[in-house]
Structure 1
Amino acid sequence: MEFDVIQGDIAEQPAEALVNAAGTSLRMGSGVAGALRRAAGEEINEEAMENGPVDLGEVAVTDAYDLDADHVIHAAAMPHYGDGEATEESIRDATRNALEKADELGCESLVLPALGCGVAGFDLTKGAEIIGEEIETYEPETLEEVRFVAYSDEEYDAVRSATGKTEETEMDETEADR
Structure 2
Amino acid sequence: MSDLDAIQIWRGDITTLGVDAIVNAANSSLLGGGGVDGAIHRAAGPQLVEECRLLGGCKTGQAKITGGYDLPARHVIHTVGPVWHGGTQGEPELLADCYRSSLNIARERGLRSIAFPAISTGIFGYPADAAAQIALRTIAEELHRTPDAFESIVLVCFDERAEDALRAALADLQAGNAR
Q: TM-score range by the shorter chain?
A: 0.7 to 0.9
Gap runs ≥5 in structure 1: 80-84, 170-178
Alignment of 1:46-57 (within 5 A): 46-57=50-61
Match of 2:34 in 1: 30
Gap runs ≥5 in structure 2: 84-88, 175-179
Alignment of 1:154-173 (within 5 A): 154-164=161-171
Residue 65, structure 1, aligned to residue 72, structure 2: no
How far, CA to CA, are the matches of 1:56 and 1:86 in structure 2? 11
Count the aligned residue pairs.
162
SS state of the match for residue 162, structure 1?
helix
How far, CA to CA, are the matches of 1:74 and 1:36 in structure 2? 10
Would you identify which runs of 4 or more consecutive aligned residues in structure 1 move more than 4 Å?
A: none
Residues 27 and 33 in structure 2, CA contact (< 8 A), matched pair in contact too:
no
**TM norm structure 2:** 0.83
1:143, distance to aligned residue in structure 2 (A):
1.6
Q: Please tell me the root mean square deviation across aligned C-alpha atoms, in Å.
A: 2.1
Alignment of 1:15-164 (within 5 A): 15-78=19-82, 87-138=91-142, 139-140=145-146, 142-164=149-171
1:112, distance to aligned residue in structure 2 (A):
0.4
SS state of the match for residue 33, structure 2?
coil
How far, CA to CA, are the matches of 1:108 and 1:71 in structure 2? 12
SS state of the match for residue 21, structure 1?
strand
CA deviations 1:62-83 (Å, max 9, x no partner) are 100011111100011136xxxx
Residues 24 and 78 in structure 1, CA contact (< 8 A), matched pair in contact too:
no
The one-letter code of the counterpart of 2:167 is R
**TM norm structure 1:** 0.84
SS state of the match for residue 19, structure 1?
strand
* Percentage of pairs with the same residue: 33
How far, CA to CA, are the matches of 1:46 and 1:29 in structure 2? 15
Q: Which moved more, 1:100-109 or 1:23-32?
A: 23-32
How far, CA to CA, are the matches of 1:40 and 1:53 in structure 2? 18
Residues 58 and 79 in structure 2, CA contact (< 8 A), matched pair in contact too:
no
